[in-house]
Amino acid sequence: DAEKAQYKARIKQLLIDQNAVLVAHYYTDPEIQALAEETGGCVSDSLEMARFGRDHPAKKLIVAGVKFMGETAKILSPEKTILMPTLEATCSLDLGCPIEEFNDFCDAHPDHTVVVYANTSAAVKARADWVVTSSIALEIVEHLDSLDKKIIWAPDRHLGSYINKQTGADMLLWQGECIVHDEFQAKALRELKKLHPGAAILVHPESPASVVELADAVGSTSQLIKAAQTMANDTFIVATDRGIFYKMQQAAPGKTLIEAPTGGNGATCKSCAHCPWMAMNGLQAIEQSLINSDKTNHEIFVDDELRIKALIPLTRMLDFAK
């Protein structure tokens, strides 16, 4: 509508005036993803967001996503100003893995290689040997397993057990979960599949094992978009944040995309297929981050010592992913 168009026009001008670029995650609302595209920014998963932000010449990055993505950008590009629409946008995986307890866990298993998901604080990354995202976790664990390494995996237990099953690696799992993916329901999914027998089921491995078992393709956000594009089916039932439908539909025009069912048919679940923290990245918040650049509200800082330590496992991942 008219008000949104005005927000968008003002944000576009602010981005130009401030030599800033907007980087948005696939799980943000469609209008935010569209704005990132229209302004020469990028829409992607956390691995690509990190790489794009690091390599882009802009002095200022607006990271529309959740806090760990802003922190990762700062760790990789300390000389850039990293702004977020709101610093309150966090992640249940990050919240569920506090550094004090994680340190104790690592200290108790000193012979293990520490592998952490990108969805963690800078402090947890600083403790890790490797950082991984879901697009590359499997390959990195396979690599470590081929070297006979014992692994501490944190924080997502569903992704960890999926990778464990795939690789047979020796893995100790932290018991965290994503409140969005944890809600997908296998029983309701089987019922839905009966109504769409020709549909392929696409599942992000942060979902419970019972849901992953029903999948025709399992993968990270980018991998699921690719699957919708390349698989012959004309209908897909998708178990991940519904924000992904924006880019998935672009990649697979003409195909039908259906949301996988969540707990309580949407009535009772906390976060029915849409991350409440990703949803905080609205147009108004983006404009505010550019207008007042309030350091306590919008700007990301990472303690120097942590940043230098966290850069090591992050760089290891980016080099491995090349």
Task: Determine contact, residues 224/240, Cβ cutoff 8 Å.
Answer: yes
Which partner, ligand SF4, ligand CIZ, none, binds residue 269 by CB below 5 to 8 Å per kind? none
First vs last C-alpha separation in the chain: 42
Structure-token match 């200290």, residue found: 107
**Neighbouring C-beta atoms of residue 266, cutoff 10 Å:** 12
Contact pick of 15, 24, 91, 126 for ligand SF4 (by CB under 6 A): 91
Contact pick of 179, 199, 273, 285 for ligand SF4 (by CB under 6 A): 179
Q: How far is the CB of 293 from ligand CIZ (least distance, A)?
A: 25
Cα 141-173-106 angle, rounded to 5 deg: 90
Contact pick of 75, 82, 118, 252 for ligand CIZ (by CB under 6 A): 118
The reply, when asked if residue 77 is annotated as ligand binding, is no
Q: Decide if residue 278 touches ligand SF4 (CB under 6 A).
A: yes
For 101, the token pair is: 């307890």
Which partner, ligand SF4, ligand CIZ, none, binds residue 179 by CB below 5 to 8 Å per kind? ligand SF4
The reply, when asked if residue 103 is annotated as ligand binding, is no
Which partner, ligand CIZ, ligand SF4, none, binds residue 239 by CB below 5 to 8 Å per kind? none
The reply, when asked if residue 205 is annotated as ligand binding, is yes
Contact pick of 28, 77, 113, 134 for ligand CIZ (by CB under 6 A): 134
For residue 211, the Cα-to-chain-centroid distance in whole angstroms is: 19
Which partner, ligand SF4, ligand CIZ, none, binds residue 45 by CB below 5 to 8 Å per kind? ligand CIZ
Q: Which is nearer to ligand CIZ, 50 or 173 (CB)?
A: 50
What number of chain residues touch ligand SF4 (CB under 6 A)? Answer: 13
Four-point Cα dihedral 92, 93, 97, 99, nearest 10: -100
Q: Decide if residue 118 touches ligand SF4 (CB under 6 A).
A: no
Q: Which three-class secondary structure state does DSSP give residue 24?
A: strand
Q: What does the alpha-carbon distance between residue 310 and residue 201 come to, in Å, rounded to a whole number?
A: 36
Q: Which three-class secondary structure state does DSSP give residue 150?
A: coil
The reply, when asked if residue 272 is annotated as ligand binding, is no
Q: Which helix (H) or strand (E) holds 37?
A: helix 30-38
Which partner, ligand CIZ, ligand SF4, none, binds residue 118 by CB below 5 to 8 Å per kind? ligand CIZ
Q: Decide if residue 134 touches ligand SF4 (CB under 6 A).
A: no
DSSP codes joined into one string, 163-214: HHHHH---EEE--B--TTGGGB-HHHHHHHHHH-TTPEEEE-TTS-HHHHTT
Q: Decide if residue 120 touches ligand CIZ (CB under 6 A).
A: no
Q: Decide if residue 140 touches ligand CIZ (CB under 6 A).
A: no
Q: How far is the CB of 95 from ligand SF4 (least distance, A)?
A: 9
Inter-CA distances, 165 with 114, 168, 209, 300, Å: 18, 6, 10, 37
The reply, when asked if residue 275 is annotated as ligand binding, is yes
For residue 276, the Cα-to-chain-centroid distance in whole angstroms is: 13
Q: Which residues are annotated as a binding site for [4Fe-4S] cluster?
A: 91, 178, 275
Binding stretches for ligand CIZ (CB under 6 A): 45-46, 118-119, 133-134, 178, 206, 221
